[in-house]
Amino acid sequence: MRIAVMTFKLRAEWVHSLKEKRMIVKSLVAKLQNKYHVSAAEVDEQDTHQIIVIGVAAIVPHNAFADSLMDDISRFVEENTEAEIMDEEREIR
């Protein structure tokens, strides 16, 4: 059994308040949790309006499944937010 961990750093230039940011974060986190049954949350930069850092974790049976799942999640994040993906980190533990 392995743990797949991902961190996305996004930039949303049009966001001007923490309320706007919270709407984006809540929507994306809920979609990730519902579609992939993973743990997801905002993990950093909570007080910065235009920067969003989301962490995603999942328990997987083996490395090949982890790689496939992380590829799918990465594509999903790119397609389901208008924010620019600045950085993406992946780790299998």
Domain containing 23: what range? 2-92
| Per-residue pLDDT tens over the stretch 39-89 | 999 998 888 889 999 999 999 999 999 999 999 999 999 999 888 999 999
Give the residue among 69, 89, 88 at the shortest CA–CA distance from 11.
88
Tokens of 8: 């996305």
What is the pTM assigned to this prediction? 0.88
Please tell me which residue, 5 or 49, carries the higher pLDDT value.
Answer: 5
Q: How far apart are CA 44 and CA 47, in angstroms?
A: 9
| Close Cβ partners of 67 (under 8 Å, ≥ 6 residues apart) | 92
Decide: helix, strand or coil at residue 17. Answer: coil
Q: Residue 72 sits in a domain of what CATH number?
A: 3.30.70.1120
Q: How far apart are CA 1 and CA 39, in angstroms?
A: 16
Q: How far apart are CA 40 and CA 91, in angstroms?
A: 15
Q: Residue 11 is which amino acid?
A: R
Decide: helix, strand or coil at residue 88. Answer: strand
Report how many domains make up the chain. 1
